[in-house]
């Protein structure tokens, strides 16, 4: 039974989809990796003090727990749940604005940007204007274009580098493998990947039906 569970887990991690959005990255030293690796594995991105995020546990509410109340009203619960998500989105956008200004005013925290080529539960591929060496460790900030938004900060090791002209742009395609990522973060990422796969299949089906 254990082997079957592990196999299913590996299959989820290998799920891959082409995508395109900005990924932020920063080359880090071995010393930085040694300092951050276990911490990034042990804590979700949203629960790391350095991320300057609000404490989700302080603001979130398990709406399903209200169903046992005598005066439970599913319509009102749905409205409040919607408002709760809107507040989350506002707080997230506010944080993104603060993060933007912080990065502008702090050269030491400046990150580079790459364009996502494809993503999987085990790593990401990006198009970069600069050439980086294999085995370089990157601190990756991944913010998929989805609502409600989420951010994953993980450490990845470059496993492949090649010159390319993908998407009409010249540059270097690099493939990275996650070497330090919280498993709950990874699961959130995998859910997004499956959602994108369904969207692409649905879009292709509509296109085929049209023609």
Output DSSP code: residue 122.
Answer: T
Element (H, E) at 179: strand 171-180
Cα(51)–Cα(128) distance, rounded to whole angstroms?
A: 25
Cα(12)–Cα(184) distance, rounded to whole angstroms?
A: 13
- Give the pLDDT confidence score for residue 200 in this predicted structure: 80
- Give the pLDDT confidence score for residue 211 in this predicted structure: 55
- Give the pLDDT confidence score for residue 113 in this predicted structure: 94
Among residues 135, 117, 142, which one has the least CA distance to residue 19? 117
Show pLDDT as tens, one digit a residue, over the chain (211 residues). 444 444 446 667 778 888 999 999 999 999 999 999 999 999 999 888 644 443 434 444 444 555 555 565 667 667 766 776 677 667 666 665 655 544 444 444 578 999 999 999 999 999 999 999 999 999 999 999 888 889 999 999 999 999 987 767 789 999 999 999 999 999 999 999 998 888 888 776 666 555 5
- Give the pLDDT confidence score for residue 49 in this predicted structure: 66
Cα(28)–Cα(111) distance, rounded to whole angstroms?
A: 11
- Give the pLDDT confidence score for residue 59 in this predicted structure: 42
Do 149 and 89 touch, CB atoms closer than 8 A?
yes
Domains observed in the chain: 16-210 (2.40.10.220)
- Give the pLDDT confidence score for residue 142 in this predicted structure: 95
- Give the pLDDT confidence score for residue 4 in this predicted structure: 43
Do 20 and 123 touch, CB atoms closer than 8 A?
no
């Amino acid at each position: 039974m254990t082997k079957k569970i592990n196999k299913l887990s590996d299959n989820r991690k290998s799920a891959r989809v082409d995508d395109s959005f900005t990924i932020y990255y920063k080359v880090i030293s071995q010393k930085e990796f040694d300092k951050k690796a276990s911490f990034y594995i042990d804590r979700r991105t949203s629960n790391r003090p350095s991320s300057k995020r609000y404490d989700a546990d302080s603001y979130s509410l398990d709406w399903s727990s209200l169903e046992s109340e005598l005066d439970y009203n599913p319509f009102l619960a749905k409205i409040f749940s919607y408002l709760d998500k809107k507040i989350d989105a506002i707080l997230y956008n506010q944080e993104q604005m603060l993060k933007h200004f912080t990065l502008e005013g702090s050269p030491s925290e400046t990150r580079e940007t790459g364009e996502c080529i494809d993503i999987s539960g085990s790593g990401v591929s990006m198009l970069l204007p600069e050439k980086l060496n294999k085995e370089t460790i990157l601190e990756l900030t991944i913010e998929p274009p989805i609502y409600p938004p989420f951010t994953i900060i993980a450490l990845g090791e470059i496993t492949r580098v090649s010159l390319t002209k993908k998407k009409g742009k010249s540059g270097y395609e690099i493939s990275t493998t996650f070497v330090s990522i919280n498993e709950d973060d990874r699961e959130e990422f995998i859910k997004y990947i499956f959602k994108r796969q369904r969207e692409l299949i649905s879009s292709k089906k509509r296109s085929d039906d049209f023609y």
